[in-house]
Structure formats: structure tokens, C-alpha cells
Amino acid sequence: MCEYTVSSLKTLGAEAEWVDSGKYAVEKVIKAHDEKRDFDIVILDWMMPDQDGIETAKKIRASINDDIPILIVSAYDWSEIENKAVGVNGFLQKPLFRSTLYRALEKYVLKTNEEDYLGRKTNNYDFTNKNILLVEDNELNRDIAAELLSITKANIECASNGKECLDMFKSCEENYYDIILMDIQMPVMNGYEATKLIRNLERKDSKTIPILAMTADVFSEDIHAAITAGMNGYLSKPLNSSIMLKEINKLI
């Protein structure tokens, strides 16, 4: 689990280290603290051979008396240990998905509260009966975007590249989709090409369906390329839930 979790955290842009016991975890946290390079978060397995995660968390708190977030990972119902988990900030359910780790970093490291994460900070958007086609090749980004959209009660369908998006659009009834969220850089067919092909289809809704680009490249030439391809606007990555829902709400 440790190697997979560290690998997942690194794909999210985090620097991560792992050890294989509670004893070594305490030693590493103390060492980092003494060297004034404290960890931003500590993730502990509940069941470990020498000492469990709860005991390890207590020793970390006793040793450095700091406010570093400590999370316990368990495959079991943690309600029975929750009242014993002094010094533990939260729990994560196994198996650990990258989207779960992303949300944990958002909440405990970046201090993004749950309502802000889900886009409820300023408005409660209701997209009931709206069909959103989400086009994203990166599984983690796709999961996160779908989760952000799920609070709107919209029907969310996903494609992993531009060709798949094009095929789905061509096979549906006219005006079935209300908006397309289109990643730009994808294998098989990129977002620019897919958008151009959609706009050139011989059906009325191909000219009117809103298409929003999703891109980490927000230089003027990239925005110009998106508009030239036939897109209605863009969302910068990483996605900001409030901005995303606001932009979608303008177009559907």
C-alpha cells in the first residue's frame, strides 16, 4: 500500500516518503521536525505489526506537539476506534483512490473546506435533467471533475479522448447533450480537432452546443486556438469548482 500511495501522491505533485512500521514513522517525523522540514501531512495505516496507527499518532503528538494533520487508513469500520483516536484528524477508507488522496490534501493541507471543495461556497447549482459530456483522458482528473459535477444532479457521461467524444455525440439524438467539457491535450484525437469535427457535422445542435475547453495552458495563444476551433470558452486546470459551475451555468 505504501509504495502505491506514495506513487499516487507524486502524480498529484506532492513530495512523499514512506516507511514500513509505526516505529520508523515516529522516528522520521521527529527527524524531519528537528531539521525544520516538517511534513505537511502524515498518513498512517491502522494495522501495523509493531504498533498500530492510533498508537503511532499518539507518539507523534507527544514527541513534537505540533498540528501536522494525521490521517488513519483502514479497510474496516473505524467508528469503534474513533473515540480512541486522540490526535488523529481524520480517516480514509481502503482501497485508497487518487481522488480520495486529492480530497485529503485539499481538506487537510490546503485547508479547503468540504463546501468550498464541492462548489457550494457561493451558490447551489441545480442541473437536474441536464446532460454533460465530460471529455478527459486522465483518470484522476476525470474522477475529480465528475465528483465536482455530481452535486449539481446533472447526468454526467465521460469520454477518454476526442474521437470517443465525437462518436458519442454523433450517435446521440439531437440536443441530447447540453454542454461538452473538453480537455485539450489527449491521445487519439485532441480537443481542438474533436471540436472542429463536431462543429462541421450536418446537424443543428453541432453548431449550438456549448463546448468549454479544459486546459492548464492559459496563454493568449492557447485561448485563441480554443476559440478558433469553435469552443465557447475555457476552464483552467486545476479546476476551480466555483468557477466551473458558474461558467457552465452561463451556457446551459
Say if CB 205 and CB 212 are below 8 A apart. no
Boundary-marking domain end, from 77, 112, 147: 112
Tallying the residues shown for the chain, one arrives at 252
| 3-state secondary structure string across 158-182 | EECCHHHHHHHHHHCCCCCCCEEEE
The reply to whether 14 and 94 lie within a common domain is: yes
Mean pLDDT (the chain, rounded):
86
Boundary-marking domain end, from 61, 93, 112: 112
How far from 129 is each of 118, 126, 202, 210, 212, CA to CA, in Å? 19, 9, 25, 16, 19
Could you list the residue range(s) of the whole structural domain that residue 167 is in? Answer: 120-251
The reply to whether 165 and 198 lie within a common domain is: yes
Domain total in the chain: 2
Locate 190 and state its grid cell.
485532441
pTM above 0.75, yes or no: no
- Residue-wise pLDDT tens digits, 202-251: 999 999 999 999 987 767 777 888 999 999 999 988 777 778 899 999 99
The reply to whether 239 and 125 lie within a common domain is: yes
Say if CB 166 and CB 194 are below 8 A apart. yes
Which domain CATH number covers 241? 3.40.50.2300
| Helix, strand or coil, per DSSP, at residue 216 | coil
Instruction: Report the run of H or E that residue 134 belongs to, with start and end.
Output: strand 131-135
The reply to whether 24 and 104 lie within a common domain is: yes
- For 109, other C-beta atoms within 10 Å of its C-beta total 14
- Residue-wise pLDDT tens digits, 39-82: 999 999 988 888 888 899 999 999 987 789 999 998 776 666 66
Percentage of the residues of the chain whose pLDDT score is greater than 70: 90
Phi/psi-derived region of residue 188, left when phi > 0, alpha when psi is between -120 and 50, beta in every other case? left
The reply to whether 125 and 164 lie within a common domain is: yes
Residue for grid cell 499516487: 8
Whether residue 186 has pLDDT greater than 90: yes
Say if CB 168 and CB 159 are below 8 A apart. yes
